[in-house]
């Protein structure tokens, strides 16, 4: 895809599509419950559509009408064994949370994915599920998909201390724990996104939080709340927040943004770097708001420690942000980036470097020196949606020539209308 550049600024008010993490969980929990659940604001991106397909293959009726998703389920006990391996494409969330559910089904299933997903680590989920009593194995004795699971209706609760900060691992264990005998406790060393535990509560499940540990009692029924409304994804909004800050003559207002505090690290980083950003809460519980951002002078900062899980998916676009800040930005404690759709430490650095960024990799992050002018080159998303969107925003800064973005269609994983929404707010168009 050729990207015309030298943006004259971004202006407009709009909203981004539904939160990806919440969309996955809405279909999963609605499928586990008995009855009908209407979901509004569902993200119709490839990853969340893979979750819908997975539960259809387990026998759940799921309809998409007028951008609303209707899940009609007879409950977890009535799931049927899929005839084929379940293919969840590029979606790590579907595979890891899905494994937690498959572990509780008393039959054999196989789950697999695309060429990126079959290289992502699964032992982090398989290990605790084995401890709970499921038989789980990867391809040819490895930890990689296709993953074969022989589940059991006789899972046992565990007390598990998380070796990595991962909401996917935490959620897989909690979902298995929901069907296990006794209590399951998950202890986090650093708090990760809490959508699973919060949404389980919406489905009437008794889940207790104490500091960074979560306790779920096993064998509880889920009760559908009837309807769910999903806010816009702050991880998608992040691309436009950064774009508006780094492109001169910009002011962008994004409405209906999810503001769950386990996800708002990007707002904290923008503020700490000196960005002009305001957040207006628009619901009664502080979970949704309007974020307004405009062109700003920025300075480098260090981003490390407990904030990392609160902005893990935003680190590629934060790296671009840092190229436009004066001084040095250090990103540390982010080795988890190596296990995403690509090795995002290496790929962020190599692609931004092609455009002229001064960016070095470290064992657990990146060091970026700014402010740098970016130049036109051919770059690639490497099939990673967040890298693709980061590079598309980077292209807006290039003053002369054209940027060619290879594998631009990867954006459809989390944001199918990304280029259309970008074009709509660009003064003079894309
Ligand atoms: O639970 C989730 O919905 C997600 C958790 C994060 O992954 P990890 O749990 O591997 O950190 C994140 O990167 C991913 O995009 C979505
Ligand atoms: C890492 C991501 O997703 P997943 O792990 O679900 O593939 C992401 O969306 O950036």
Q: Which residues define the annotated binding site for 3-phosphoshikimate?
A: 20-21, 25, 166, 168, 313, 340
Give me the percent of the chain exceeding a pLDDT of 90: 97
Q: State whether 239 and 207 are in the same domain.
A: no
CA distances from 259 to 171, 265, 421 (A): 20, 10, 21
For the chain, the 3-state helix, strand and coil shares in percent, each to the nearest 5, are: 35, 25, 35
Banded model confidence at residue 4, pLDDT cuts 50, 70, 90: low
Q: What is the pLDDT of residue 110?
A: 98
- Please provide residue 277's backbone torsions phi and psi, each rounded to the nearest 5 degrees: -145, 135
- How many whole angstroms from 176 Cα to the centroid of ligand 1? 17
pTM score, two decimals?
Answer: 0.98
93 lines ligand 1 (CB under 6 A): yes
* Å from CA of 212 to ligand 2 middle: 23
Decide: residue 169, CB within 10 A, 0-12 exposed, 13-18 middle, 19+ buried. Answer: buried
Question: What CATH code is carried by the domain that includes residue 52?
Answer: 3.65.10.10
Mean pLDDT of the 390-402 span: 94
Q: Which residues are annotated as a binding site?
A: 20-21, 25, 92, 120, 166, 168, 313, 340, 344, 386
290 and 310 share one domain: yes
The mean pLDDT of the chain is: 97
DSSP 58-111: TT-EEEEETTEEEEEEE-GGG----SS-EE-TT-HHHHHHHHHHHTTSSSEEEE
Residue 337 shares a structural domain with residue 210: no
What distance in angstroms lies between residue 22's CA and the mean position of ligand 2's atoms? 13
User: For ligand 1, atom 11, which residue shows the shortest CA distance?
Assistant: 166
Q: Both 13 and 29 in a single domain?
A: no
Flag whether pLDDT at 276 surpasses 70: yes
Cα–Cα distance for residue pair 322/117, rounded to 1 Å: 29
- CB of 51 within 6 A of ligand 2: the answer is no
Q: Residues 201, 64: one domain?
A: yes
Give the residue from 197, 229, 261 where a domain finishes. 229
Residue (of 402, 353, 358, 356) closest to 376 by Cα position: 402
- How far, in whole angstroms, is CA 271 from its chain's centroid? 22
323 with 417, same domain: the answer is yes
Residue with CA closest to ligand 2 atom 8: 313
Give yes or no: residues 194 and 294 share one domain.
no
- Give the pLDDT confidence score for residue 353 in this predicted structure: 98
Where does a domain end: 229, 258, 273?
229
Q: What distance lies between CA 189 and its chain's CA centroid?
A: 20
Stated as kind and residue range, the H or E segment containing 274 is: none
Distance of CA 22 to the CA centre of its chain: 9
Per-residue pLDDT at 6 exceeds 80:
no
Q: Is the per-residue pLDDT at 325 higher than 80?
A: yes
**What percent of the chain clears pLDDT 70, i.e. is strictly above it?**
99
Instruction: Flag whether pLDDT at 313 surpasses 90.
Output: yes
Centre of ligand 1 from the C-alpha of residue 416, in Å: 19
For 122, the 3-state DSSP assignment is: coil
Total domains in the fold of the chain: 2
Mean pLDDT of 294-311: 98
Does ligand 2 have an atom closer than 6 angstroms to the CB of 21? Answer: no
Beta bridge partners of 37: 71
Q: What tokens appear for 26 in the block? A: 């809405």
Do residue 249 and residue 380 come from a single domain? Answer: yes
DSSP 338: G
For the Cβ of 120 lying below 6 angstroms from any atom of ligand 2, the answer is: no
For the CA of 20, the nearest atom of ligand 1: 3
Q: Domain check: are 257 and 318 in the same one?
A: yes
Domain holding 6, by residue range, is 2-18+231-427
The pLDDT tens digits for 67-87 are 899 999 999 999 999 999 999
3-state DSSP call for residue 220? Answer: coil
Contact 24, 413 (CB under 8 A): no
Is 27 found in the same domain as 137?
yes
For the Cβ of 260 lying below 6 angstroms from any atom of ligand 1, the answer is: no
Q: Is 313 a catalytic residue?
A: yes
Q: Which atom of ligand 1 is nearest to the CA of 21?
A: 3
Q: Phi/psi of residue 44, each to 5°?
A: -85, 45
Q: What contacts 141, CB < 8 A, 6 or more positions away?
A: none
- Quick check: helix, strand or coil at residue 129? helix
> Distance, CA 20 to ligand 2 centroid (Å)?
9
Looking at the CA of residue 413, tell me the nearest atom of ligand 2.
9
Q: Which atom of ligand 1 is nearest the CA belonging to 97?
A: 1
Q: How confident is the model at residue 428 (pLDDT cuts 50, 70, 90)?
A: confident
The stretch 29-57 carries a mean pLDDT of 98
Q: pLDDT value at position 168?
A: 98
Report cis status (omega within 30 of 0) of the bond before 421.
no
- Of 206, 229, 252, the position where a domain reaches its end is 229
Alpha helices in 291-413 (DSSP H): 315-323, 344-354, 385-395
Tens-place pLDDT, residues 108-124: 999 999 999 999 999 99
Q: How many residues does the chain have?
A: 430
The per-residue pLDDT for range 127-171, each reduced to its tens digit, is: 999 999 999 999 999 999 999 999 999 999 999 999 999 999 999
* Residue of 47, 233, 313, 421 marked catalytic: 313
Query: Residues 6 or more apart from 107 whose CB is under 8 A from it?
Result: 81, 150, 151
Is 405 within 8 Å of 3 (Cβ atoms)?
yes
Q: Tokens in use for 160?
A: 């598990």
Q: Give the pLDDT score at 226.
A: 98
92 lines ligand 2 (CB under 6 A): yes
Distance CA 10, CA 285 (A): 30
Rg (CA), the chain: 21
Terminal-to-terminal C-alpha distance of the chain: 12
For 133, 249, 351, 416, 429, the CA distances from 420, given in Å and listed in that order, are 47, 20, 23, 9, 10
By the 8 A CB rule, do 22 and 195 touch?
yes
- Averaged pLDDT for residues 27-51: 98
Q: Which of 294, 245, 222 is nearest to 30 (CA)?
A: 222
pLDDT above 70 for 307? yes
Q: How many CB atoms lie within 10 A of CB 118?
A: 17
Among protein residues, the one with the nearest Cα to ligand 2's atom 5 is 92
Ligand closest to 384 (CA) is 2
Cβ contact 158:128 at 8 Å = yes
Question: Confidence class of residue 430 from pLDDT cuts 50, 70 and 90?
Answer: low
Q: Are residues 281 and 374 in the same domain?
A: yes
What are the pLDDT digits (tens) for 331-382? 999 999 999 999 999 999 999 999 999 999 999 999 999 999 999 999 999 9
Average confidence (pLDDT) over 47-70: 97
Residues 11 and 159 in one domain: no
Question: 262 C-alpha vs ligand 2 centroid, how far in Å?
Answer: 16
């Amino acid at each position: 895809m050729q990207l015309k550049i030298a943006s004259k600024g971004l202006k407009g008010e709009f909203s981004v599509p539904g939160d990806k993490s919440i969309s996955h969980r809405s279909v999963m929990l609605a499928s586990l419950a008995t009855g009908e659940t209407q979901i509004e604001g569902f993200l119709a991106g490839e990853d969340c559509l893979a979750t819908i397909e997975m539960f259809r293959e387990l026998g759940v009726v799921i309809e998409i009408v007028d951008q609303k998703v209707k899940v009609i389920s007879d409950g977890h006990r009535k799931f049927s064994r899929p005839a084929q391996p379940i293919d969840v494409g590029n979606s790590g969330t579907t595979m890891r949370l899905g494994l937690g559910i498959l572990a509780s089904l008393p039959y054999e299933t196989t789950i697999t994915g695309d060429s990126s997903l079959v290289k992502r680590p699964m032992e982090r989920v398989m290990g605790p599920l084995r401890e709970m009593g499921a038989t789980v194995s990867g391809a040819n004795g490895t930890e990689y998909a296709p993953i074969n699971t022989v589940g059991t209706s006789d899972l046992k609760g565990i007390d598990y201390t998380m070796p990595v900060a991962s909401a996917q691992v935490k959620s897989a264990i909690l979902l298995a724990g929901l069907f296990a005998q006794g209590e399951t406790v998950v202890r986090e060393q650093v708090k990760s996104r809490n959508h699973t535990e919060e949404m389980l509560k919406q489905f009437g499940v008794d889940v207790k939080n104490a500091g960074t540990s979560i306790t779920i009692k096993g064998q509880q029924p889920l009760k559908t709340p009837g309807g769910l409304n999903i806010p816009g994804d702050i991880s998608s909004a992040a691309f436009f927040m950064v774009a508006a800050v780094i492109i001169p003559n910009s002011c962008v207002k994004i409405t209906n943004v999810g503001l769950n505090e386990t996800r708002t690290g990007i707002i904290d980083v923008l503020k700490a770097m000196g960005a002009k950003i305001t957040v207006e809460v628009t619901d009664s519980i502080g979970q949704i708001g309007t974020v307004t951002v405009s062109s700003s002078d920025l300075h480098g900062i260090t981003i490390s420690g407990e904030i990392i899980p609160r902005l893990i998916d935003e680190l590629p676009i934060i790296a671009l942000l840092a190229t436009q800040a004066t001084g040095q930005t250090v990103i540390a404690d982010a080795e988890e980036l190596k296990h995403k759709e690509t090795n995002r430490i290496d790929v962020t650095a190599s692609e931004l470097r092609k455009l002229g960024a001064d960016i070095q990799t470290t064992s657990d992050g990146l060091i970026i020196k700014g402010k740098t002018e970016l130049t036109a080159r051919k770059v690639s998303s490497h099939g990673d949606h967040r890298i693709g969107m980061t590079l598309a925003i980077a292209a807006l800064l290039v003053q002369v020539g054209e940027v060619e973005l290879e594998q631009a269609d990867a954006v459809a994983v989390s944001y199918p209308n990304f280029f259309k929404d970008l074009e709509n707010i660009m003064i003079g168009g894309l």
